[in-house]
Structure 1
Amino acid sequence: MTEPTYAFAPPAVVSVPVQGRAERFAVHRIYCVGRNYEEHAKEMGFTGREPPFFFLKPADAIVVAEPGQTATIPYPTLTANLHHEIELVVAIGVGGRNIKAADAASHIYGYAVGLDMTRRDLQTDMKKQGRPWCIGKAYDQSAPIGPITLAAQAGDVNHAAIWVQVNGTDRQRSNVAKLIWNVAETIEHLSQAWELKPGDLIYTGTPEGVAAVVRGDTMTGGVDGLTPISVKVA
């Protein structure tokens, strides 16, 4: 078979390091769960256990924060209100459709700490206009992430503390147990809408305390049992 040729060089594969392994996790898609902690839902003007909803980021929104290092992201264009959202990230290793919550664990490769960076003013403006708010969420370098820890080595992530500090001061601090839709339920719902594939990442939602960062701020965050993340806004 003749190898295909391309009009230009294909982009490099986006990947995330795996803790303790030489191989890397090649990223397929990034799914994000909106308003998945009750107190965050309230601070955004909503209440209750609404059905889960999802948005996507492009794979090349990934910025890897290597262990023991501080990654750098630029302050993005078009915004004057850049917010941090600390999240537990689930890495899918076995794909599937219509996965039952009871079977979800067998599809999980591992877990990581991530930040869903948000141009809040742009997102809010799009909401008011009833328009999609991709411009607020799915922009370049909007998905910093730390190394993936294999599921068997991650401990009880479903009851782990989750937190982020900005310049050493607490901003968000909660527990993954407070997710409205837990990891298994999220995978069940998500796999009804899309066929999950190996390489998918699921940003599972953020707790209350989201707030703005400015140029020069450093965000450090973590989920107990996973490698923490450190990211500076350039």
Structure 2
Amino acid sequence: MSFLMRVVVPDRPGSLGAVASAVGAAGGDIVGVDVVEHRLDGFVVDDFLVDLPGGRLPDSLVTACRTVPDVSVEFIGHYSPGASLHRDLEAVEAMTDEPERAEEILVDLVPGIFRSGWALLLPQNGSTLKVLRASGGAPEEDGYEAPWLPMPAPGRIVTGDDAPQAWQDVLAVGVPVDDTGQLIVFGRDGGPRILDSELARLVHLVALAQVIRRGGLATG
């Protein structure tokens, strides 16, 4: 079974290796590690993708990590078996292959780029939510009168207590596609929280999608 684990680690030599050793001692097999954010307080936020044998509880990974000095686990949750892991450059290459569909392709790849969550492509011609494209697991809910639509600038989405059930407990950000009047939303159900660095990466990828669609970027 695969788990996504977000760990806050001191930014000093040996810390990452100590966490990896602790995870291994608990029976976990680390499939991948992403540095999500370098914080100003001397810590780094890392996302670990860990395979755990059947019968082992994810709590054992948390307990193991906590044996490493100054390390804390911010989140742990199931990660879909066989889920693809995409890097930013791979997303750019995929969008370049079909530039007229750049934003749709980006929506499909966002869960892999950011390790977990979902994405939507929405129009911004009013406050009624109408889904143009959705990745797996996204809360579509066409007809939802979203108080956060339209979004003039990138930012965090606050759904409110009167949102449909599918939008309850959602952590989400939105980035406008300026030249089409659309919006790309990236969200997670329950966690981990979306960091400022992740929002900045999404802003950059949306900007690249627009450049690619207009024919202004080539790879290879």
Higher relative contact order (CA 8 A, sep 6+): 1
Larger radius of gyration: 2
Instruction: Identify whether the pair has TM-score above 0.5, normalized to the shorter chain.
Output: no
